[in-house]
Amino acid sequence: MSIRKRWLTGAFVLAGLPLAISQAYAAEPEPQHKDIPAAEIKYQAGGSPLGDVEMYQDINPKAPAMSKAEFDQARKIYFQRCAGCHGVLRKGATGKPLTPEKTLPNGTDYLKVFIKYGSPAGMPNWGTSGELTDAEVDLMARYIQQTPPQPPEFGMAQMKETWNVIIPPEKRPTKKMNDYNITNIFSTTLRDTGEVALIDGDTKKIINVVKTGYAVHISRTSASGRYLFVIGRDAKINMIDLWMEKPDNVAEIRIGLEARSVDTSKYKGYEDKLAIAGAYWPPQYVIMNGDTLEPLKIMATRGMTVGDQEYHPEPRVASIVASHFKPEFVVNVKETGKTLMVDYSDINAISVKEIPVAKFLHDGGFDSTKRYFMVAANQSNQIGAIDVKEGKLAGLIDVGKIPHPGRGANFVHPKYGPVWATGHLGDDSIAMIGTDPVKHKQYAWKMVDTLKSQGGGSLFIKTHPKSKHLYVDNPLNPDPKVSQSVAVYDISNLQAGYKVLPIAEWAGLKDDGAKRVVQPEYNKAGDEVWISVWSAKDKESAIVVVDDKTLELKNVIKDPRIITPTGHFNVYNTQHDVY
């Protein structure tokens, strides 16, 4: 009697084939993921801090037996490997739902096959790749048949328990107390140590290594340029005063259990008054006092999705930026596919305007005029252009597979005028979108041109108003030659192709670490580009500085404290949205 096999589309639950075929398939050690590139699998399978959060085990009599120890072990694996695709509550995100009504009918043996061997449609082969042992595969097959545990909520009381004003505003310096050129300081994420390194862009020396949350995702500068705000994946925010003799933390808070985004008010008259952060869990964003991080208002994001209008219980907050045209924050919500225009002019009567865009919103940046926010709907393979002045969707543009622009790159195309560009995780294209609806109306909100890059797995693309070059990284590409280098284009002659800079080789690291090259970032003057060479926690890493005029090596910054460097943010460029 045949047992039907259900194929996954990026998940575990599929349509049917006989068990004999699944057994034959099991003999293949490395299935070909034809539709899902290795770079996307790496990206989507990123870990979550929720694996360390205590959750209640609800015993389901229909599910296979699990001890509490087994349940807790499986829960940690799930949040390390699976939650990014399938969601905290297993109700589906970029991957399919893994709730008991979907998984119980399949049975443990059936599910073990797919967890171990994967599927051609994109399910990673967790067992044959060596990521999970046979015992762990069995554990996970039983776990996904259990009732999904829900992490605790994180409200005002919990936030205030974590809120710490280390140095009150009245005790902070009244003028800059150091000789650093703070506009050219770089904030570099030291991912696995829970720190950021503040590096002097002029001398290339570390000013201070500041304790933060785990795996800082982004650093943002206040409108005045005095304060630096960083947020870790564990939802901890640190506020750093750059005027201090040695810049360091002056306030901190956790706004949830997992997060990615933070920014401060930029509109005239509101500079430095408020801060905002968005959480992955709970699904909410929080508005805080800009001087102390005191939480003032919590707003939920749970609601209906664009298009199919279905309720989603955990829409994660992705990127947040502050409008320069109105007292508004631009909040982009992944699963619902909506951009929220949050009016903060009256903190006691906040108004929110929803702009439907597309699933699943992620990162993005302003065009050169800062009027249009270009946001990647990465699983829809689209870019939404949000008119922050008018509060509406100006355009929705089809691009390549899984756009991941970082902030993107603005430059003047020789033919199409002002454009904004993005690279992609899922293919080797670079898309250029026209952004001038006045002088180049015929090209506005259209993909006017594409370039071929080194390959997929790109996370960041960068240029500068004073540069003639465009830099593209590929840190998630499976080919080390690609992941350990950057491609550089001449903006005046884009079709001539790219020059490859061997950044990892230039770093001269002494061991065999991964040496992933990530996030080109210009200095304030626009004549240097800083690039992280990111290896494991127990391996040597570095920062390579490239002379943008000659495209030659200028400096290598090495220090035992530079451990797993990833993103870095120049204070001036971040303050003024220069990219």
Q: What is the DSSP letter of 20?
A: H
282: three-class secondary structure by DSSP: coil
Contact (Cβ atoms closer than 8 angstroms) between residue 394 and residue 385: yes
Identified catalytic residue from 33, 66, 123, 413: 123
Judge whether 85 counts as a catalytic residue. Answer: yes
Contact residues for 108 (Cβ-Cβ < 8 A; gap 6+): 64, 138, 141, 142, 145
Rounded-to-integer distance, Cα 102 and Cα 167, Å: 52
Contact residues for 520 (Cβ-Cβ < 8 A; gap 6+): 460, 462, 471, 472, 473, 486, 529, 530, 531
Q: How many CB atoms lie within 10 A of CB 203?
A: 11
Identified catalytic residue from 82, 140, 432, 447: 82
Judge whether 312 counts as a catalytic residue. Answer: no
Residue 457 corresponds to which amino acid? G
Strands 185-190 vs 284-289: parallel, antiparallel or unpaired: unpaired
Contact (Cβ atoms closer than 8 angstroms) between residue 45 and residue 132: no
**Residue at token pair 């709730």:** 99
Judge whether 440 counts as a catalytic residue. Answer: no
Residue 466 corresponds to which amino acid? K
Residues in the chain, overall count: 579
Rounded-to-integer distance, Cα 125 and Cα 213, Å: 31
325: nearest Cα among 394, 407, 266: 266
Judge whether 341 counts as a catalytic residue. Answer: no
Contact (Cβ atoms closer than 8 angstroms) between residue 239 and residue 257: no
Residue 339 corresponds to which amino acid? T
Contact (Cβ atoms closer than 8 angstroms) between residue 204 and residue 555: yes
Judge whether 464 counts as a catalytic residue. Answer: no
The number of C-alpha atoms within 13 Å of 561 and in the hemisphere containing its C-beta is 14
Q: How far is CA 440 from CA 45, 409, 474, in A?
A: 41, 18, 31
Rounded-to-integer distance, Cα 452 and Cα 432, Å: 12
Let me know if 9 is exposed, middle or buried by CB neighbors in 10 A (0-12, 13-18, 19+).
middle
Element of type H or E holding 475: none
Q: Which two tokens stand for residue 64?
A: 């296979």
Identified catalytic residue from 33, 312, 324, 362: 362
Contact (Cβ atoms closer than 8 angstroms) between residue 329 and residue 322: yes
Extended strands (E) in 68-180 = 164-165
Q: How far is CA 451 from CA 160, 293, 488, in A?
A: 49, 43, 12
Identified catalytic residue from 33, 66, 85, 447: 85
Judge whether 217 counts as a catalytic residue. Answer: no
H runs (alpha helix) in 435-502? 480-483
Rounded-to-integer distance, Cα 200 and Cα 570, Å: 10
Identified catalytic residue from 33, 86, 413, 464: 86
Identified catalytic residue from 312, 324, 404, 469: 404
The number of angstroms, rounded, from the C-alpha of 56 to the middle of its chain's C-alpha atoms is 29
Question: Could you give the residue numbers annotated as active site?
Answer: 82, 85-86, 123, 362, 404
